[in-house]
Amino acid sequence: MPVALLGSARSSLSSQSLCSKAIFVTIRRGYASSTKHPAPKRFRPIKGAANLPQNITLPPSKEPAVNPPASTLPPLLDLVERRPDQSATSYYIYIGKSYINFYRTALRAVWVNSKEARAAISARKFRGRPPYIDELRTGLLTRAEFQFIARTSKDFWKLPLVGILVTLCGEFTPLLVVFVSGIIPRAAWIPKQVHRARVNTEKRREESFRQGTIENDIELKRISAQDGVEGLSPAQILHISRALGLHSTLWEKLWDRPPQWIARMKARRALDYLQADDFGIHRDGGVQALSDVEIERACEERGFDVLKYDIKTLRSRLELYMKFRMEKKISTAAMVLVRPSSWEKLV
C-alpha cells in the first residue's frame, strides 16, 4: 500500500477497513482472465494484478530501470464505434459497461500497487514519507521504483472517494470525473480527463508567461545557478504553480490566486521531486530509454506543452532539457521560469 503507511501500516489499514471493503465491492468483480503488470526488477512480481476485460489493455514497460510498471498508468480504453445495425440502447449500454470495466481495472491496479509498494518499503526499512528522494539518489531505488512509489502513494488516498463516486454514479461516472479530477487517482483518468487537464494547464502557463517571470539577465543568471525556491519572488512562485498545474483553478476564480505560503510549499515539493527525477532518468537509462507514454508524462510534469507536438519532438525537447539540467547544471526553477525557446540564455 502507499508509501506513507510506513511504520503504521496495520493501524492505517484498520482505520480504513470500512472504506476498503466498500472499494472492493466496486472493483473486485468482472474479471475473466489474469494478466500480470510488469514490475521493477527489484520488486517482487505484483500478485493478483488487475484482470483485464477484452476491450482494455495496458501499455507495456520498455525498460524496468527507468520506466515504472504500466499499472501506474491509466488502462487504455478502446471503445468500438457503433455498428449500423446496432440500436442506440445496446450501444450506450456497451459504452457504460466499458467505462465500468475501465474503472474496475484502474482501481484494482492502484490497490494492488499499494500493497506491493508497502511490502517493498517495509522490507527495506525506509523511513519518512514518500517520494523517498534520498533513497533514489543513494541507489536504493531505481527511477522506476521511485515513480512506482510516488504515484501509488498519491493515488491510494483517493481510492475511497472515487470508489464511492463509481458506486453511486455507475455508468454516469465519466460525465462527472472531468470536473473533479483532483479526487480521482491519476491511474484512473479517462482520455478526456487527461486532455482537459492538459488544455487547462497549457492555457494557464501561456497566460503566466505573457505576464513575465524574470525581469533582467542578472536575475536570470542568479536563478539558473540556485536550486529550490529560496530567493524567488511571489510572482515567480505563482508562475511555477501555474506552469506545473500545482493549484486548482478554483483559487483564481475565487481569490485571484492561492495563498503565497501554499503556492511556495507546493512549488518547493514539485522542484525537489523534479530534481530527483531528473537524476533518476539520467542515471537509469536516459531519455532514450523512456517509453512514449513516459515521455509525455515527464514533459507534462516539467511544464512543457504536449498537445501540439508529436512524440519525436517531445523526446528531443526532453533530451535538450536534460542536457541543460545535468551537463550545464541549470536549476529546475530556471527551466520552468523560462520558455524552452529561451533556454540558451540560462548558460
User: Which pLDDT tens digit goes with each residue over 201-245?
Assistant: 999 999 999 887 776 677 778 888 888 888 899 999 999 999 999
User: Going by C-beta distance under 8 Å and a sequence separation of 6 or more, which residues neighbour residue 211?
Assistant: 235, 239
User: Cα–Cα distance between 234 and 53 in angstroms, integer?
Assistant: 49
User: Cα–Cα distance between 11 and 118 in angstroms, integer?
Assistant: 13
Residues 239, 181, single domain; the answer is no
Residues 213, 252, single domain; the answer is yes
Q: In whole numbers, what is the pLDDT of the chain averaged over residues?
A: 80
Query: Percentage of residues in the chain with pLDDT exceeding 90?
Result: 49
Residues 14, 156, single domain; the answer is yes
* Contact criterion met (CB below 8 Å) for 59 and 294: no
Q: Provide the domain limits for residue 228.
A: 194-346
Residues 169, 25, single domain; the answer is yes
User: Cα–Cα distance between 149 and 130 in angstroms, integer?
Assistant: 7
Please state the pTM of the whole predicted model.
0.78
Query: Percentage of residues in the chain with pLDDT exceeding 70?
Result: 80
Give the bridge partners for 56, in sequence order.
77
- Please spell the DSSP secondary structure of 92-143, one letter per residue: HHHHHHHHHHHHHHHHHHHHHHHHHHHHHHHHHT--SSTT-HHHHHTTSS-H
Closest CA to 46 of 1, 11, 104, 100: 1
- Asked which of 187, 212, 236 is the last residue of a domain, the reply is 187
- Asked which of 127, 155, 187 is the last residue of a domain, the reply is 187
Residues 251, 146, single domain; the answer is no
Closest CA to 23 of 119, 147, 114: 114
Confidence of residue 63 (pLDDT cuts 50, 70, 90): low
**Tally of domains within the chain:** 2
Looking at residue 263, its pLDDT comes to 94
Dmax (CA) for the chain in angstroms is 68
User: Which pLDDT tens digit goes with each residue over 82-126?
Assistant: 888 889 888 888 888 888 889 889 999 999 999 999 998 988 888
Residues 11, 146, single domain; the answer is yes
State phi, psi for 56 to the nearest 5 degrees. -130, 130
* Chain length of the chain: 347
22 pLDDT above the threshold of 80 = no
Cell of 64: 524496468
Residues 22, 7, single domain; the answer is yes
